[in-house]
A and B are shown apart, each in its own frame.
Chain A
Amino acid sequence: MSATAAPLILAVPSKGRLQQNAEAFFARAGIELVKPRGARDYRGTISGFDGVEVAYLSAAEITAQLAQGTVHLGVTGEDLVREMIPQSQRRVVLVTGLGFGFANVVVAVPQAWIDVRNMADLDDVATAFRLKHERKMRLATKYANLTRGFFAEHGVVDYRIVESSGATEGAPAAGTAELIVDITTTGATLAANGLKVIDDGIILRSQANLVAARAAHWDSAQREVTRLLFDRIAAQKRADQYREVRTRFAGLNEKVLAAVREKFGVATPFGGPTSSGMLTLHCPPEYVHALANFLREHGAEAVSVAGLDYVYTRDNPLYAKLAAELDAAG
């Protein structure tokens, strides 16, 4: 029962695009990461929040520390979580996808294998290869665990993994492996190396995630600051999903409201029209123009559409999810 509680530790990528994207993501949520002792410092804080420490680490290190519980929260790729942490759902909680760092973990074979289109073909070819060559096909990858799970699911057993630390896509041309499992965003690097992705060979569609460590020390102090952080993130996320649409006209009644909810997936955060007849709607961006047409067809003279920065609601779904997971485990 010490008076000064241990800080909540948030681990953020220390380099490159992932760092920029992560900082931008937090900034949009009104969470400003600061490095009080200069840009080269590997420890930081969040302005306006007490009891939070930001640790700048590599994505792999973040993943390892999440598994051990030496940080509470971290930003890392789902691919690393699934690969590096055995039985990851028991060790960490994937709180939410962050909308950047998209990449697929895929099975790729030489383009010359024109007879191999899907995993069933690969299964057959692997067994035929073993029978013909008296050895198993070699598969180069950094993702040994993901590969094993996926291949087992598809019943492919006649292969063996050769660990690859870099330039995996070059392994078939170099003769050190017959096929690979690797991460790709556009497939261009694979194509440049004479490889193609198998039709049903996408093992994981990955993106950067906000991840929580089950094994970290979660006292009321760390939970409270997490609740506040997640509240901002959720408010920003919700704001991203909607545009604010405002209008006022005489023919506006419950029937029209029911129709716009039904047709355009619109939310009415403040209920029906106010006493002055003003109506505020939250509309998914893709339906904004159709909604504006619909409202004018029903009598609106003017409809304004604006972006939203934050939409706070009574609930805090991200924190609720984390709290439920932590309590279930404890």
Chain B
Amino acid sequence: MSSMANTGPDPRAQALVESYGRAGYARIEPPTLQPAEPFLDLSGEDIRRRMFLTADPHGRELCLRPDLTIPVSLDYLQSPAAGKAAGFCYLGSVFRHREGAAAELLQAGIESFGRADKAAADAEMLALGLEATTQYGLNAPQIRMGDVGLFAGFVAALDLAPAWKRRLVKDFNRKKLLAQDLDQLTLAAANGAPEYRGVLAALTGSDPKAAHHLVTDLLSIAGIAAVGGRSVAEIADRFLEQSALNAPTRLPRETRTLIERFLSLKGDPDEAAGELRALADETKIPLGPALDLFETRTGFLLARGVNVRAIEFSTAFGRGFDYYTGFVFELHDTADTLPRNKSPLVAGGRYDGLLTRLGAKTAIPAVGFAASIEELAARGGAS
């Protein structure tokens, strides 16, 4: 494909990515054809349905990139800058099968790696995203904002079985499942009382080594050979985790009310921070660093001239991708004259865990966003 396709028919897209360059982000053009594995592993099997997959003669699975965050991250990890602070921008196509719509979408975005000043970096992404809409004549888009870190911090501080904490955090992005989880937790239904009470009772108070021996013996008595993936230690650990808790798999009603109260908080970031502090004080559930980061970020947003009062923050807002770990945002057209398509004009967020999962030896903070040229051009005024 020639570079003509990338620059596109819209000169404003070119101008937009040039403005990213002036903001200090180096232009990068990752290959269109990418290994499929990272996308499937990180974005979930659901994306496979929408991906264009192929294979090379050695049977390696390849795809037309369905997003640019992972390709840019991979290129960064291969570059001499890997592990250091570095920022990149791009203008390029992503490919996703969409019923009744073109599969090729043009995106102009930024990925910022390795910055320790997370709050400032977050605020910069939102500010640059707003500049992108301004360049298309959309001066005051709706700003939706969330913070996955707040929910994770809140759940971590709850008095709950680790299995349930894992599940709540995992299902944060799937609101229907989260509601089901809460129902199940309170009812202690199918999954409620653990099976194998005898084993769990025998394990109460054991150390991991003793638990490991017990599970090994159980398998050997049953004549089962350990096969594949999970080790005996992992199985023992999970039993131990269940027994240590003496089966409090039931969610106390007040904890459920608390979770629901937490998830119903919304407002502008200042109002929300106030309510979160009040909730934390009242319930003695520390939100500590996550809330501090949240408030510092609001300060940086103000400093960048963002109209903070206009931001619609909600504790329940997520973007449906598991790799986000903190701040997330979407910009939407307020007029919404094209009801057919509810896609955001600009969307992004923080994904601090992604680079480790792509092979980085140490944790590298990362944040970024992408502007949809198609949406901006369709909704924005004439240039």
Residues of A within 8 A of B (CB): 110-115, 117-118, 120-121, 123-125, 127-129, 131-132, 134-138, 144-145, 147-148, 151-152, 155, 157-161, 172-173, 175, 177-179, 194-195
Contacts and interface: CB of A to CB of B under 8 A. Distances in A.
B282 interface: no
Main secondary structure of the interface of A (DSSP, over half): mixed
A178 B231 CA distance: 11
Given A117-B195, A124-B163, A134-B356, A158 B170 contact: yes
Given A114-B218, A155-B181, 19 more contacts: A111-B224, A113-B235, A114-B215, A114-B224, A117-B195, A118-B190, A120-B190, A120-B191, A132-B234, A147-B45, A155-B171, A157-B44, A157-B45, A157-B174, A158-B170, A160-B40, A173-B227, A178-B229, A194-B224
B180 A173 contact: no
A194 B227 CA distance: 7
Top-8 shortest CB links A-B: A178-B229, A172-B228, A120-B191, A155-B177, A110-B227, A112-B226, A194-B227, A111-B224
B227 A111 contact: yes
Contacts of A147: 45
Nearest to A131: B166
B46 interface: yes
Contact of A128 (B166, B218, B224): B166
B230 interface: yes
B225 to A, nearest CB: 6
Contacts of B256: none
A148 B48 CA distance: 9
B235 A114 contact: yes
A110 B229 contact: yes
A159 B45 contact: yes
Contact of A115 (B41, B170, B226, B239): B239
A154 B162 CA distance: 19
B49 interface: yes
Nearest to B234: A132
9 contacts: A110-B226, A113-B230, A114-B196, A117-B195, A128-B234, A135-B357, A155-B170, A159-B45, A172-B228
Contacts of A148: 45-46, 48-49
Nearest to B218: A114
A130 B180 CA distance: 22
From A112, A128, A158, A179, name the one whose CB has the most chain B CB atoms within 10 angstroms: A112
Contacts of A127: 166-167, 170
Contacts of B85: none
Nearest to A129: B230
Interface residues of B, number: 39
B170 A173 contact: no
B322 interface: yes
A52 B232 CA distance: 60
B219 interface: yes
Nearest to A180: B228
A115 B180 CA distance: 23
From B180, B219, B222, B230, name the one whose CB has the most chain A CB atoms within 10 angstroms: B230
Contacts of B229: 110, 129, 137-138, 172, 177-179
B238 interface: yes
Contacts of B46: 148, 152, 157
A261 B147 CA distance: 65
A155 B224 CA distance: 29
A169 to B, nearest CB: 11
B40 A161 contact: yes
Given A120-B191, A125-B238, A178-B228, A114 B219 contact: yes
B365 to A, nearest CB: 17
A112 B357 CA distance: 28
B190 A128 contact: no
B234 A124 contact: no
Interface string B223-260: 01111111010110011000000000000000000000
A33 B190 CA distance: 50
Contacts of B40: 160-161
Contacts of A160: 40-41, 45
A121 B191 contact: yes
A112 B226 CA distance: 5
Contacts of B224: 111-112, 114, 194
Interface in B142-196: 163, 166-167, 170-171, 174, 177, 180-181, 190-191, 195-196
Nearest to B177: A155
A125 B229 CA distance: 11
Given A124-B167, A152-B46, A160-B41, A110 B228 contact: yes
A161 to B, nearest CB: 6
From A155, A158, A177, A178, name the one whose CB has the most chain B CB atoms within 10 angstroms: A155
